[in-house]
Chains A and B, each alone.
Chain A
Amino acid sequence: MKEQNAIILSNTLIARDVWKMELKTEIADLARPGQFVEIAVPGFFLRRPISVSDTGKGVLTIVYKVMGNGTDVMTGMHPGEELNLLGPLGQGFPVLEDKEAVLLLGGGVGVPPLLKTAKEYLAKGKKVDVALGFNNAADVFYLDAFEQLGIEPAVATMDGSAGVKGTVLDAVAARGIETAFVMACGPLPMLKAINQKYTDGYISLESRMGCGIGVCMGCIVHDAKGTALRVCKNGPVFPIGRVVF
């Protein structure tokens, strides 16, 4: 883990309210799929936890959605400017040797961390299927990023304006993907549905965080025994079934 000023290389709008930012930082080479960084946005007290989407040659790619004033400020940042990062943080998606195939399920801004995950599984020679869910065609992004890897994502939108109408699980059904080992990141209702349908795999949780390093107990979830788990330190990625919703 490092705290470092990263240099912004690009910052572009890729879907409605969704931006992709590339940063030059040593943190890139340390990051595992599904980990996150904490970003200090000038003028705001707490850092913003944002997942690592991709890395390569000292460049870290993040994708963020404008959720409030902090992320809104980020949209106004330009290449050449610096941004202070802390990371990589948390437990990411494991890359398991004994699995022949993996199904990656992403919803909205839960999609980005699946890109690096897909790359790592492909590099191990595994079969990778991807299904992505969005609200509307205007929200869809990253199809091209997966296509560059030779993967054609199954897509669903809630209003049917792109792909099949419905959730990411409807996209899986429409495509007839039967892989039982899944990795998922997305909104809570989606993760709940995945938690019910699948038993083998991992989900990544989102949470309001204070410290991001396991100290403040701000982002607690619980397992079936009632044991407190810190999303920032024990997660954000947990085995399916571990966390009680």
Chain B
Amino acid sequence: MDLSVKLPGLNLKNPIIPASGCFAYGREFSQLYDLSLLGGLCIKSVTMEPRAGNPTPRIAETPSGMLNAIGLQNKGADFVCRMELPFLEQFDTEVIANVAGATEEEYVQVIKMLNDCDVIKAYELNISCPNVAHGGMGLGTTPELAAHITKLAKEAAAKPVYVKLSPNVTDIVSIAKAVEEAGADGLVLINTLMGLSVNLKTGKPLLANNTGGLSGPALKPIALRMVWQVAQAVNIPIIGVGGISSAEDVLEFLNCGASAVEIGAANFADPYICPKIIEDLPKVLEKYRYSSLEEAIGKAFK
């Protein structure tokens, strides 16, 4: 079965994309399997300035998932451009750059620098990271703020812009619509849900950052609900993400209106999860009597 999906700037041979922050820049996973198997891959968030990230502990396991508070650790756009991205040129897969910053200006600076990197096919605007004091989620939790930064990003970008939205809001549909109106080429739904875990030995929050982003299977029903709501309200494509760890999960997201999906924390539990899902997906589509990927998209509300 043909699994290919055409989205703005992205010719995906299949709808499977490892999510930002769960795949670094591909080097480690390239030692496990051929990255050309992937529809695309989304690199770890890039900021203009290097960021050291948060103190440890940064990770806590939770029922059916995990909390993380890495804090956008990265060596900055210049380093990523020169030292990380050239490695990805050898693979036949579509690379998406996740862009973050402490200020609106920083997002624009990163985009301008990455415009010249041919290996990058599209941007994913991270206005939904819950683990940083400035920027991140703070820029994406009202329709006005989200639209404003989307507009700035679109003006700066020489490539399509997908906006990754936060679930830590009361009305994701209004934000999605505002972002669409501001010119976004697509949406990525959803980032992690802000959570907390307590260390019973100390009685204090387990993570040094106190709060962290919840990912893993625990997030899936929330992500599906949000994709389903937003897909009925916008006309731009949606990349679904949140708790996916099987081809059946992928099909659920397609049914709710996603055109492609990102795989996040499942890469930690099983580093071979993406090729496994790619292999299983045609069988699962056939099992549920779809003759194409397209046919499955949005069935939940059509």
Contacts and interface: CB of A to CB of B under 8 A. Distances in A.
A73 to B, nearest CB: 13
Q: How big is chain A's contact interface, by range? A: 20 to 34
B64 interface: yes
A46 B56 contact: no
A46 B66 contact: yes
B265 interface: yes
Interface in B95-128: none
Among B24, B62, B66, which residue has the most Cβ atoms of chain A within 10 A?
A: B24
Contacts of B63: 45
B53 A47 contact: no
Interface in A203-219: 207-219
B53 A220 contact: yes
B271 A213 contact: yes
Contact of A3 (B60, B62, B272): B272
B145 interface: no
Interface residues of B, number: 33
A208 B66 contact: no
Nearest to B21: A216
A211 B268 contact: yes
Contacts of B268: 46-47, 210-212, 215-216
Contact of B28 (A47, A215, A228): A215
Interface string B45-72: 0000000110011111111111010100
Contacts of A226: 52
B61 A44 contact: yes
A173 interface: no
Contacts of B73: 217, 220, 228
Interface string A67-104: 00010000000000000001000000000000000000
Interface in B230-248: none
B26 to A, nearest CB: 9
A215 B22 contact: yes
A126 interface: no
B2 interface: no
Given A211-B271, A214-B24, A217-B73, A45 B62 contact: yes
Contacts of A47: 268-269
A70 B60 CA distance: 13
Interface of B: 21-24, 28-29, 31-32, 52-53, 56-66, 68, 70, 73, 216-217, 265, 267-272
30 contacts: A3-B271, A3-B272, A45-B65, A45-B265, A45-B269, A46-B59, A46-B268, A46-B269, A47-B269, A86-B271, A208-B58, A208-B59, A208-B60, A209-B59, A210-B58, A211-B268, A212-B268, A213-B29, A213-B32, A215-B22, A215-B23, A215-B29, A216-B22, A216-B59, A217-B53, A217-B73, A219-B59, A226-B52, A228-B52, A228-B53
The 5 closest A-B pairs by CB, nearest first: A218-B59, A211-B268, A215-B24, A210-B59, A46-B61
Given A216-B70, A233-B28, 13 more contacts: A3-B272, A45-B216, A45-B265, A47-B268, A208-B56, A211-B268, A213-B29, A213-B271, A214-B28, A215-B29, A216-B268, A218-B56, A218-B68
